[in-house]
Amino acid sequence: MRDFPLPLALTARLSPVVVLAAAGWALSSGPATTTAEHKDAPKTGGQSASAPSTTAESKAYGAAPAPCGSVAEKTLKSLVPGAKTAGKELRSTDAKLRRTCSWNALKGYDYRWLDVSFEVMNSDEAAQKTYKDRITEKSGGGAVPGLGDQAYSVVNLTTEDKQQTREGMVFAQVSNVLVVVTYNGSDFETKKAPSTDEINKGAIEASRDAVTALKGSQNQ
* CATH for 8-35+61-217 (3.40.1000, 3.40.50, 3.30.70, 1.10.3470): 3.40.1000
Please tell me the predicted confidence (pLDDT) of residue 95: 86
Alpha-carbon distance of 208 to 30, in angstroms, equals 25
Please tell me the predicted confidence (pLDDT) of residue 105: 97
Please tell me the predicted confidence (pLDDT) of residue 93: 85
Backbone dihedral angles phi then psi of residue 41, each to the nearest 5 degrees:
-65, 140
Please tell me the predicted confidence (pLDDT) of residue 220: 61
- Give the amino acid at 214: L
Q: Where are the domains of the chain?
A: 8-35+61-217
pTM (whole model) above 0.85: no
| CA-based nearest residue to 53, from 66, 40, 64 | 40
Please tell me the predicted confidence (pLDDT) of residue 219: 66
Rg (CA), the chain: 18
- Give the amino acid at 79: L
pLDDT tens figures, 123-153: 999 999 999 999 999 999 999 999 999 999 9
Please identify every stretch of the chain with a pLDDT value under 70, giving residue numbers as ranges.
1-58, 219-220
Please tell me the predicted confidence (pLDDT) of residue 18: 42
Please tell me the predicted confidence (pLDDT) of residue 58: 62
